[in-house]
């Protein structure tokens, strides 16, 4: 592999581990746990993995050894730091016994089912230490949910004498990890399954999980780019920039970038839903700011739009729910039809209220909502050009206001979508250390006989040696939700809390950002230099852990 100068220098970085993970560990167990909701249902569905205690690792003076081959899977969207979860896992299992082997399943969960794997060796892994990307073994979105898949997986697990599988994924992938752990436990196959919290979206977090890995690096990367645009914008003073930011449902990414960059406007989907706002109201709010600034001679600005917005606008959310059910029940009847016939079919089957919403949406947006779910049943919101939809609607409204004499400014806009450019960035020091510790923790959960657990690292706003490591039963994070027309056990997604400290901090100051130009330019991620520049966490985490 040909490497950049940064890659070469970065390979030599030794990730810092919490004191408790630096050598042998012993396990401290807490009290039995309960799921966040629907306890009776979840208990019934997970009789073998429900109620287990949260565990924490403490340093031990005893020599620790363990024979264990491990299989690792990267699942879902890329997130900076994934390679370091694998290096943490690798180094720990080798330390526990140099004959232990680590197998990487290729291109996600599908690799387990199709028996596509590689053995990860010292030579192979060294090229990937502290790098972004998931290319060490690749990732995929195959949903592991069927008994045939679990049994197919078991064949290769037996062949390679694998003691445990580590699934590195988001809420959906960890839900599946939990189902797999329960299945193997129920069958008494003796195969452990451990999850690791990944996703740039930042929505896999709760009382036990401080943050999902990748959020730190991705938001810093986007904030660098937003800051650059803000500076360009403030230099020429002639464009409104509509920037859509990745993050399928929750607006954590947009909120974090807003806290870092202080744009003029940042829409928070969760607020739109809570206030029952219509698309037209959102547009009007934006236009009010544009018009106000125009009166001050400021015909420029920056607007952040979370990728998931469309699903949170209540009328469109309702439409999506009905479309989900329609797709589950009749998708095959209309998927083969041409675009116009599909639209007709859908209109004919929707309730009156949703029909009206569907009919008012631009054709490309309507089509994206009615088709093309990902394997987990999610609308592929990153393919919907919300930034254009909003700017087109603003343009029309401002024209109308001009005619009515309510607006005299100039409105020229540019569009951006920051998503994929943040998912494989070289991990920040935070993600580098956090991920290596997560991998180490996962190895220790296996060595200590745990299954159905997610590796966790807490106290991460403190210096690394004070971080606390352990595991949390995945069932503890579950509740029942409607998916593809059926009630299913799933990990509860963490949305932006409107009474949470990050949103409150933003809410307090946003009017000033709208009126004035208060941009902050965070600049690129730094790996060497003053600690306050290189080792800072996200503003979200800082505020949440205050
Ligand atoms: P995960 O939840 O799997 O980590 O994926 C996150 C994400 O980056 C979302 O923000 C985005 O909507 C989606 O993946 C895009 O998916 P794809 O990579 O399949 O285009």
Distance between CA atoms of 82 and 65, rounded to whole angstroms? 25
- Distance from residue 76's CA to the centre of ligand 1 (Å): 7
Q: What is the pLDDT of residue 238?
A: 96
Residue ending a domain, choose from 483, 512, 528:
483
From atom 12 of ligand 1, which residue's Cα is the shortest distance away? Answer: 248
Distance between CA atoms of 116 and 457, rounded to whole angstroms? 30
User: Is the CB of 81 within 6 Å of ligand 1?
Assistant: no
Q: What is the mean pLDDT of residues 340-362?
A: 85
* Domain assignment of residue 188, yes or no: yes
Distance between CA atoms of 272 and 315, rounded to whole angstroms? 11
Distance between CA atoms of 306 and 387, rounded to whole angstroms? 9
Atom from ligand 1 closest to the CA of residue 423: 8
Q: The CATH number of the domain where 502 resides is what?
A: 3.40.50.460
Token output for 78: 């890329």
* Percent of the chain with pLDDT strictly greater than 70: 98
- Distance from residue 189's CA to the centre of ligand 1 (Å): 32
Q: Is the pLDDT of residue 373 over 80?
A: no
Q: Comparing 327-331, 353-357, 473-477, which segment has the lowest mean pLDDT?
A: 327-331
Q: Comparing 412-421, 480-489, 515-524, which segment has the lowest mean pLDDT?
A: 480-489
Q: Examine the residue annotation and report whether 201 is marked as an active-site residue of this protein.
A: yes
Q: The CATH number of the domain where 144 resides is what?
A: 3.40.50.450
Distance between CA atoms of 78 and 424, rounded to whole angstroms? 6
Q: Comparing 63-67, 379-383, 408-412, which segment has the lowest mean pLDDT?
A: 379-383
Q: What string of DSSP letters covers 245-306?
A: E--SS--HHHHHHHHHH--SEE--HHHHHHTT--HHHHHHHHHHHHHHHHHTT---EEEEEE
- Distance from residue 248's CA to the centre of ligand 1 (Å): 7
Atom from ligand 1 closest to the CA of residue 204: 2
Q: What is the DSSP letter of 545?
A: T
User: Is the CB of 379 within 6 Å of ligand 1?
Assistant: no
70 shares its domain with 138: yes
* Domain assignment of residue 488, yes or no: no
Q: What is the pLDDT of residue 380?
A: 73
pLDDT, greater one: 51 or 378: 51
Q: Is the pLDDT of residue 321 over 90?
A: no
209 shares its domain with 226: no
What would the pLDDT profile of 51-61 be if each residue is shown by its tens digit?
999 999 999 99
Q: Comparing 50-54, 116-120, 337-341, which segment has the lowest mean pLDDT?
A: 337-341
Q: What is the pLDDT of residue 145?
A: 87
Q: Comparing 30-34, 175-179, 234-238, 480-484, which segment has the lowest mean pLDDT?
A: 480-484
293 shares its domain with 331: no
- Distance from residue 296's CA to the centre of ligand 1 (Å): 40
227 shares its domain with 90: no
Domain region containing 526 = 216-307+385-419+495-546
Q: What is the pLDDT of residue 41?
A: 96
Confidence of residue 358 (pLDDT cuts 50, 70, 90): confident
Check: complex ipTM more than 0.90: yes
Does 480 belong to an annotated binding site? Answer: no
User: Is the CB of 76 within 6 Å of ligand 1?
Assistant: yes
User: Is the CB of 210 within 6 Å of ligand 1?
Assistant: no
- 360 in Cβ contact with 310 (< 8 Å): no
pLDDT, greater one: 35 or 365: 35
Confidence of residue 372 (pLDDT cuts 50, 70, 90): low
Does 420 belong to an annotated binding site? Answer: yes
140 shares its domain with 59: yes
- Shortest CA distance to 214 belongs to which of 353, 492, 518, 422? 422
Q: Is the pLDDT of residue 375 over 70?
A: no
Q: What is the mean pLDDT of residues 115-124?
A: 98
* Domain assignment of residue 29, yes or no: no
* Domain assignment of residue 453, yes or no: yes
Q: Which of 91, 172, 201, 431 is catalytic?
A: 201
From atom 4 of ligand 1, which residue's Cα is the shortest distance away? Answer: 199
Distance between CA atoms of 117 and 347, rounded to whole angstroms? 46
406 shares its domain with 257: yes
151 shares its domain with 280: no
First to last CA, the chain: 43
Dihedral of the CA atoms 72, 76, 80, 84 (nearest 10)? 0
- Distance from residue 382's CA to the centre of ligand 1 (Å): 8
Does 238 belong to an annotated binding site? Answer: yes
- Distance from residue 348's CA to the centre of ligand 1 (Å): 32
Atom from ligand 1 closest to the CA of residue 198: 4
Q: What is the pLDDT of residue 318?
A: 87
Atom from ligand 1 closest to the CA of residue 382: 12
- Distance from residue 115's CA to the centre of ligand 1 (Å): 25
Q: What is the pLDDT of residue 154?
A: 97
Q: What string of DSSP letters covers 162-207?
A: EEEEEEEE-HHHHHHHHHHHHHHHHTT---EEEEEEB-TT--S--S
- Shortest CA distance to 73 belongs to which of 91, 90, 86? 86
* Domain assignment of residue 16, yes or no: no
Does 10 belong to an annotated binding site? Answer: no
CA distances 217 to 263, 382, 497, 509, Å, are 19, 19, 22, 25
CA distances 18 to 21, 89, 450, 496, 531, Å, are 6, 15, 20, 29, 17
From atom 14 of ligand 1, which residue's Cα is the shortest distance away? Answer: 77
Q: What is the pLDDT of residue 343?
A: 83
Task: Indicate the SS3 state at residue 72.
Answer: strand
Residue ending a domain, choose from 383, 403, 435:
383
Does 214 belong to an annotated binding site? Answer: no
Domains identified in the chain, total number:
3
302 shares its domain with 405: yes
- 513 in Cβ contact with 262 (< 8 Å): yes
Confidence of residue 457 (pLDDT cuts 50, 70, 90): very high
Distance between CA atoms of 287 and 289, rounded to whole angstroms? 5
Q: Which residues pair with 196 in a beta bridge?
A: 168
Atom from ligand 1 closest to the CA of residue 75: 3
* Domain assignment of residue 504, yes or no: yes
Question: What mean pLDDT value characterizes the chain?
Answer: 94
Q: Is the pLDDT of residue 374 over 90?
A: no
Distance between CA atoms of 356 and 316, rounded to whole angstroms? 10
Q: What string of DSSP letters covers 45-57?
A: H-TTTTTPPPEEE
Does 248 belong to an annotated binding site? Answer: yes
Does 230 belong to an annotated binding site? Answer: no
From atom 20 of ligand 1, which residue's Cα is the shortest distance away? Answer: 382
Distance between CA atoms of 39 and 50, rounded to whole angstroms? 9
Other Cβ atoms less than 10 A from the Cβ of 252: the count is 30
Q: What is the mean pLDDT of residues 323-335?
A: 79
- Shortest CA distance to 233 belongs to which of 221, 241, 225? 241
From atom 5 of ligand 1, which residue's Cα is the shortest distance away? Answer: 77
203 shares its domain with 255: no
236 shares its domain with 205: no
Confidence of residue 16 (pLDDT cuts 50, 70, 90): very high
Q: Is the pLDDT of residue 385 over 90?
A: no
Q: What is the pLDDT of residue 437?
A: 98
107 shares its domain with 61: yes
Across 333-370, b (16+ Cβ under 10 Å) vs e yields ebeeeeeeebbebbeebbeeebbebbeebeeebbbbbb
Q: What is the pLDDT of residue 376?
A: 62
User: Is the CB of 382 within 6 Å of ligand 1?
Assistant: yes
User: Is the CB of 246 within 6 Å of ligand 1?
Assistant: yes
Atom from ligand 1 closest to the CA of residue 199: 4
What would the pLDDT profile of 220-248 be if each residue is shown by its tens digit?
999 999 999 999 999 999 999 999 999 98
Q: What is the pLDDT of residue 104?
A: 98
* Percent of the chain with pLDDT strictly greater than 90: 82
156 shares its domain with 200: yes
User: Is the CB of 170 within 6 Å of ligand 1?
Assistant: yes
pLDDT, greater one: 509 or 378: 509
Backbone angles phi, psi at 131, to 5 degrees: -105, 160
Distance between CA atoms of 192 and 455, rounded to whole angstroms? 13
* Domain assignment of residue 333, yes or no: yes
* Domain assignment of residue 233, yes or no: yes
């Amino acid at each position: 592999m040909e490497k950049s100068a940064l890659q070469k220098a970065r390979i030599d970085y030794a990730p810092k581990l919490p004191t408790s993970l630096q050598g042998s560990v012993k396990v401290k167990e807490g009290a039995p746990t309960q799921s966040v909701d629907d306890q009776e249902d979840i208990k019934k569905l997970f009789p073998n993995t429900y109620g287990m205690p949260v565990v924490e690792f403490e340093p031990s003076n005893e020599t620790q050894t363990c024979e264990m081959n491990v299989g690792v899977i990267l699942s879902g969207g890329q997130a900076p730091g994934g390679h370091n979860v694998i290096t943490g896992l690798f180094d720990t299992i080798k330390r526990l016994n140099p004959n232990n082997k680590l197998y990487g399943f290729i291109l996600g969960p599908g690799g387990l089912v199709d028996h596509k794997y590689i053995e990860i060796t010292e030579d192979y892994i060294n090229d990937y230490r502290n790098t972004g990307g998931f290319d060490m073994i690749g990732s995929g979105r195959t949903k592991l949910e069927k008994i045939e898949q679990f049994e197919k997986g078991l064949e290769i697990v037996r062949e390679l004498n694998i003691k445990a599988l580590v699934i590195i994924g988001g809420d959906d992938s960890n839900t599946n990890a939990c189902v797999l752990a329960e299945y193997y436990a129920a069958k008494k196959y003796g195969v452990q399954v451990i999850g690791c919290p990944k996703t740039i979206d930042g929505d896999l977090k709760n009382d036990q999980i401080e943050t999902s890995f990748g959020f730190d690096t991705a938001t810093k990367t986007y904030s660098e780019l937003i800051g650059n645009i803000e500076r360009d914008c403030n230099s020429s003073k002639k464009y409104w920039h509509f920037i859509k930011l990745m993050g399928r449902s929750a607006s954590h990414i947009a909120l974090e970038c807003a806290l870092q960059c202080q744009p003029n406007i940042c829409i928070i989907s969760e607020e739109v839903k809570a206030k029952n706002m219509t698309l037209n109201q959102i547009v009007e709010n934006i236009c009010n700011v544009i018009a106000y600034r125009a009166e001050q001679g400021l015909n420029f600005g920056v607007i952040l739009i979370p990728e998931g917005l469309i699903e949170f606008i209540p009328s469109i959310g309702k439409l999506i729910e009905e479309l989900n059910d329609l797709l589950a029940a009749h998708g095959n009847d209309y998927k083969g039809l041409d675009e116009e016939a599909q639209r007709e079919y859908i209109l004919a089957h929707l309730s009156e209220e949703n029909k009206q919403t569907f009919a008012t949406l631009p054709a490309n947006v309507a089509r994206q909502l009615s088709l093309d779910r990902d394997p987990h049943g999610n609308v592929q919101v990153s393919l919907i050009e919300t930034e254009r939809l909003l700017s087109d609607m603003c343009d029309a409204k401002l024209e109308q206001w001009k005619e009515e004499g309510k607006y005299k400014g100039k409105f020229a806009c540019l569009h951006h979508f920051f998503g994929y450019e943040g998912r494989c960035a070289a991990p920040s020091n935070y993600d580098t250390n956090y991920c290596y510790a997560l991998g180490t923790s996962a190895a220790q959960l296996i060595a200590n006989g745990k299954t159905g657990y997610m590796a966790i690292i807490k106290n991460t706003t403190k210096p690394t040696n004070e971080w606390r490591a352990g595991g949390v039963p995945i069932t503890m994070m579950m509740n029942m939700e409607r998916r593809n027309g059926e009630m299913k056990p799933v990990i509860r997604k963490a949305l932006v809390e409107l009474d949470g400290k990050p949103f409150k901090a933003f809410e307090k100051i946003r009017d000033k950002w709208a009126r004035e130009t208060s941009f902050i330019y965070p600049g690129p991620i730094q790996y060497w230099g003053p600690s306050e520049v290189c080792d800072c966490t996200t503003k979200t985490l800082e505020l949440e852990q205050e």
